[in-house]
């Protein structure tokens, strides 16, 4: 299940990730448009990492890949994949620690995961982000996703109603972009 890109290793979460995972999940900038409980105490990070490390990436449901920077083996974020039953559709989510943003790591990590999913027969990748999350929308569009629609949701963790933009990337478009 491990995915290698030029600078990154996408792998299962490990116990050594707990402090860095708790740190970026507790950063208000990273959490701003995510539906997380925030901040994330170390004990909760330990429980979550333990739970993530037992999940099977081939099964339906969310599987978070830890993003490890090869040069120093540090955890810099995660790409989470929610495979729908049947394996034809999957939703993606992503986070990068604030001090590691702006270096192309999210683009590289998400592209690596998409490559793996489409090779395994995925037909459509989808992603949603808060309409105010312009960095995330820009990233999705750079990767080839196209805007589908907007819908309104109540985010329990933030106690607010907000608009989400939905994006999609069909396998046919991925194949064209990959060939360019
Ligand atoms: C959205 C988010 C994941 C982007 O992460 P990132 O690692 O900064 O993204 P990238 O570095 O790949 O791209 C960001 C910018 O860096 C630029 N960049 C810098 N170096 C680059 C490189 N070597 N290769 C590619 N792009 C590079 C990109 O062009 C892009 O520029 P733009 O924003 O002007 O379009 C990050 O801001 C984040 O974690 N936000 C909080 C969590 C969140 O909201 N997640 C999304 C929920 S839907």
Distances (CA, A) of 165 to 38, 99, 127: 22, 26, 8
What is the pTM for the complete model shown?
0.97
Question: Is it true that domain 3-179 has CATH number 3.65.10.10?
Answer: no
Nearest Cα residue to atom 20 of ligand 1: 103
Mean pLDDT of the chain: 96
pLDDT above 80 (res 17): yes
Q: What is the pLDDT of residue 179?
A: 84
Grade residue 180 by pLDDT with cuts at 50, 70 and 90: confident
Nearest Cα residue to atom 19 of ligand 1: 103
Q: Where do the domains of the chain lie? A: 3-179
Mutate to test the pocket of ligand 1, among 136, 142, 150, 163 (most ligand atoms within 8 A of CB): 136
Report residue 147: phi and psi, to 5°: -65, 135
Is any atom of ligand 1 closer than 6 Å to the C-beta of 103?
Answer: yes
Q: What is the pLDDT of residue 37?
A: 81
């Amino acid at each position: 299940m491990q995915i290698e890109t030029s600078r990154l290793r996408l792998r299962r979460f490990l116990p050594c990730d707990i402090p860095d995972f708790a740190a970026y999940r507790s950063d208000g900038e990273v959490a701003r448009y995510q539906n997380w409980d925030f901040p994330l105490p170390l004990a909760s990070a330990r429980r979550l990492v333990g739970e993530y490390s037992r999940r099977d990436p081939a099964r339906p449901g969310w599987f978070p890949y830890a993003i490890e920077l090869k040069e120093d083996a540090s955890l810099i974020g995660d790409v989470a994949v929610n495979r729908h039953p049947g394996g034809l559709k999957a939703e993606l989510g992503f986070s990068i620690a604030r001090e590691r943003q702006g270096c192309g790591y999210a683009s590289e990590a998400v592209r690596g995961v998409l490559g793996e999913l489409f090779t395994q027969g995925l037909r459509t990748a989808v992603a949603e982000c808060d309409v105010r999350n312009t960095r995330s929308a820009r990233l999705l569009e750079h990767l080839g996703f196209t805007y589908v629609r907007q819908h309104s949701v109540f985010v329990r963790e933030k106690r607010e109603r907000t608009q989400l933009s939905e994006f999609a990337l069909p396998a046919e478009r991925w194949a064209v972009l990959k060939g360019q």
